Amino acid sequence: MTTSTVAVPVITLPSDQDASGRSLGEEEISAVAEAIRSGTLTSTKGQFVPQLEKRFAASLVTKHAHACSSGTAAVHVAVAAIDPEPGDEIVTSPITDMGALSPILYQGAVPVFAEVDPSTWNVTAESIESRLSPRTKAIIVTHLFGNPCEMGEIMELANSRGIPVIEDCAQAFLASHRDRKVGTLGAIGCFSLQQGKHITCGEGGLVATDNDALARRMFLFINKAWGYGDANPDHYFLALNYRMSELQGAVALAQMDKLEEATAKRVAAAQWLTSRISDIAGIQAPRVHAGNAHTYWKYCLQVDSEAVPGGAVALGNKLKERRISCAPRYIQKPAFMCEVFRKRRTFGNSGFPFTAARPEAVNYDSAAYPKTFAALEHILVLPWNERYTEEHLSYIAESIRESVYELQK
């Protein structure tokens, strides 16, 4: 039964929230069964997580990869490895998941938000540069929806100032910039294996680096800073247990076999849709800068509200009537407008770490972000899936076309 008012037959698309849109099968089942039969479910003694780490590092061509419990944990591990002083600043994006921001606060540093590129909604070198200060300890870039940031320019800036760059690749498995995979361009790459990502083990994360010292600190932070294997181990510094279990590792390792194919299908499907909707006035398909390869965690449209009355929200409502579970405005508002930032809801009533920062770094004045507000106003995020068939894609394309015409009537 559908409550839709749409005359054309409504199709249910595969969803990444259940078996219809996830490539989970016998391979994952037998890996998990093997883990259970082994009786070893902790990665400190098991085989699956170490194998996953080796496999992931090899696939990225990095020296080190460590698994952890989530993408949020991955960002926390990366920030902890950089080891900011209380109140230090980390320049990042206001259009990202909260899991990329709360780790900064937990580690006693503060996010300083850069502006975004109006065509990709990624942070830019120019905007990052305007936010740098003597207290900038790191830059975190999010490759939003799978579309790489302009890493050449960002790395040139960061290297000239000696500031490490953390790449948040939670949405960008196998995306690349000038033939180098994202996650290998900065000092550390962070990935998420959460339910809706390119590959999944339900919850999980990975960090990657070529730097031996950062790798060591990340390994320790995941393991309560206990020096496993050392002659005289101790808890060397404040850290958490962010380990991935062998059950998750078994699933994630089996998923690694499927990553390339799943990603290639997402890319091919996106290119097909782009070719089918590029003539619709008022609708802009994802824009990918020269030299970048976008791997489409989501397919994000830009809707011109002058050409499409009601803009992204109205078009989103029309698509939802057709059971296309899209998200107008993505995170709705820039991250700095969430209560955690506006009301400084952090540790008791202390306001820490905002209280330890330069006041001008954390005043989060909305007037400084016209491009961020404009971006969120116009974006419409479509769910994306490697299991879309031509029938699904035609359905999405026709639904967009018909909905736009209906709004223009």
Ligand X SMILES: Cc1ncc(COP(=O)(O)O)c(C=O)c1O
Closer by beta carbon to ligand X, 171 or else 176: 171
Listed ranges 93-101, 305-313, 369-377, 394-402: which one lies at the site for ligand X (CB under 6 A):
93-101
Dihedral angle computed from the Cα positions of residues 35, 260, 383 and 324, in that order, rounded to the nearest 10 degrees: -100
Q: Which of 99, 164, 311, 316 binds ligand X (CB under 6 A)?
A: 99
Q: Output the smallest distance, CB 144 to ligand X, in A.
A: 7
Closer by beta carbon to ligand X, 384 or else 395: 384
Question: How many angstroms separate the CA atoms of 54 and 263, rounded?
Answer: 20
Examine residue 142 and tell whether it contacts ligand X (CB under 6 A). yes
Q: Output the smallest distance, CB 142 to ligand X, in A.
A: 5
* E strand or H helix that includes residue 67: strand 64-68
What 3-state class would DSSP assign to 90? strand
Comparing C-alpha atoms, which of 372, 383, 282 is closest to residue 325? 383
Examine residue 194 and tell whether it contacts ligand X (CB under 6 A). yes
Closer by beta carbon to ligand X, 75 or else 128: 75
Per-residue buried b or exposed e for 89-120, using 16+ beta carbons within 10 Å of the residue's own CB: bbbbbbbbbebbbbbbbbbbbbbbbbbbbeeb
Q: Output the smallest distance, CB 97 to ligand X, in A.
A: 3
Is-catalytic flag, 298?
Answer: no
Closer by beta carbon to ligand X, 127 or else 403: 127
Listed ranges 92-100, 159-167, 230-238, 344-352: which one lies at the site for ligand X (CB under 6 A):
92-100
Q: Output the smallest distance, CB 146 to ligand X, in A.
A: 10
Question: How many angstroms separate the CA atoms of 271 and 256, rounded?
Answer: 23
Q: Which of 92, 96, 245, 403 binds ligand X (CB under 6 A)?
A: 96
Q: Which of 23, 43, 62, 70 binds ligand X (CB under 6 A)?
A: 70
Per-residue buried b or exposed e for 278-311, using 16+ beta carbons within 10 Å of the residue's own CB: eebebbbbbbbeeebbbbbbbbbbbbebeebeeb
Listed ranges 70-78, 263-271, 300-308, 398-406: which one lies at the site for ligand X (CB under 6 A):
70-78
Q: Output the smallest distance, CB 206 to ligand X, in A.
A: 10
> Six-digit token pair at 348?
């008791």
Question: How many angstroms separate the CA atoms of 188 and 184, rounded?
Answer: 7
Among the listed residues 137, 181, 197, 298, the single catalytic one is 197
What 3-state class would DSSP assign to 132? coil
Closer by beta carbon to ligand X, 144 or else 400: 144
Q: Which of 146, 164, 186, 205 binds ligand X (CB under 6 A)?
A: 205
Examine residue 71 and tell whether it contacts ligand X (CB under 6 A). yes
Interface of this chain with ligand X, residues 109 to 138, rule: CB under 6 A: none
Q: Which residue has the tokens 């489409």?
A: 296
Rg of the chain's alpha carbons, rounded to an integer? Answer: 22
Listed ranges 65-73, 179-187, 245-253, 368-376: which one lies at the site for ligand X (CB under 6 A):
65-73
Contact string 162-191 vs ligand X (x = CB under 6 A): ------x-xx--------------------
Examine residue 72 and tell whether it contacts ligand X (CB under 6 A). yes
Q: Output the smallest distance, CB 72 to ligand X, in A.
A: 3
Q: Output the smallest distance, CB 203 to ligand X, in A.
A: 6
Question: How many angstroms separate the CA atoms of 210 and 301, rounded?
Answer: 35
Q: Is 233 exposed, middle or buried (0-12, 13-18, 19+ CB in 10 A)?
A: exposed
Comparing C-alpha atoms, which of 233, 207, 258, 213 is closest to residue 53? 207
In the chain, the amino acid numbered 16 is D
**Site of interaction with ligand X (CB under 6 A):** 70-72, 75, 96-97, 99-100, 142, 168, 170-171, 192, 194, 205
List residues with catalytic annotation.
Answer: 197
